[in-house]
Amino acid sequence: LYQETTHSLIPKGYIRDYPEYELRGGMMDVARKYFSLDYIEEMGKYMSWFKLNTLSLHINDCGGEYPNSFVVESKKYPQLNLNNGEYVWSQDDYRQMQKNLKEYGVNVITEIDTPGHAAMFGNVDSTIVNGANFDLSGHYDESLALVEDVFDEFLDGEDPVFQSAYVHIGTDESANTNENMRRYINDLAQYLLGKDNVDKVVFWGNLTYYYGETTVNSENVVNQIWDSADQRVDEALDAGFDVINS
């Protein structure tokens, strides 16, 4: 219909149109580069046109246009937003953008990246953050508790700020020890999976790099592979993970 001159005729027959992969999408690094929510929503609509159904948003990081960035308003920990100037989306606006894209069949997955890329958390408690990393060796329990509390703000309630049943916990490029990283990935994933509105937890595949003895439970945990040196595909599949090839 789109290609036909009058947009009114179509040859008679059968059309079978279905995607090869269940999850199809892309990511925008909104922590390092400013985008308006209107622009993000427009990009989501374009994605829908091309049968893409997932938009991942990386909302915190160190570097880029701001030295430390957390771009969604935190009412519980406003210190997270201190380095963003005017570039902070309100919770209401962020929630509405996700609802709007749901109408186009696009699921917005929000990523809070820790324990690396986490310098802005030092604005909340400088004693447990060393540079860009939570100090898991010296302050494991306090670090995990703070991150869980931040996720609680965005995931709890009847109409949560993060609308998707998928949530991304990051966990790439951290200077912490292998065993602490494996423990942290598992503990945070299992905590979030205990919420009624969370079906899947996604993390950046890194268990080849963070090799060790601590088990990371693969049930309902999605291994998003972005670097084969950090995560071998065969190892992720053998461990029972669903895999996203990025």
Confidence of residue 230 (pLDDT cuts 50, 70, 90): very high
Output the pLDDT for position 41.
Answer: 98
Provide the pLDDT for residue 107. 98
Q: Is the pLDDT of residue 1 over 80?
A: no
User: What is the reported pLDDT for 15?
Assistant: 82
Q: How much is the pLDDT for 67?
A: 86
Q: How far apart are CA 176 and CA 115, in angstroms?
A: 8
> Does residue 101 carry a pLDDT above 80?
yes
Lowest mean pLDDT among 4-8, 67-71, 199-203: 4-8
Is residue 214 very low, low, confident or very high in pLDDT (cuts 50, 70, 90)?
A: very high
Q: Please determine, for residue 182, whether its predicted confidence score (pLDDT) is greater than 90.
A: yes
> In 3D, which of 36, 131, 133 has the Cα closest to residue 88?
36
What's the whole-model pTM score? 0.93
Model confidence at 149: pLDDT above 80 = yes
Q: What is the dihedral of CA 71, 176, 204, 160, to 10 degrees?
A: -40
CA angle 165, 27, 122 (to 5 degrees): 80
**pLDDT in the model for residue 86:** 85
Mean pLDDT across the chain, nearest whole number? 96
Amino acid at 216: V
Mean pLDDT value across residues 43-56:
97
pLDDT-derived band of residue 11, with 50, 70 and 90 as boundaries?
A: confident
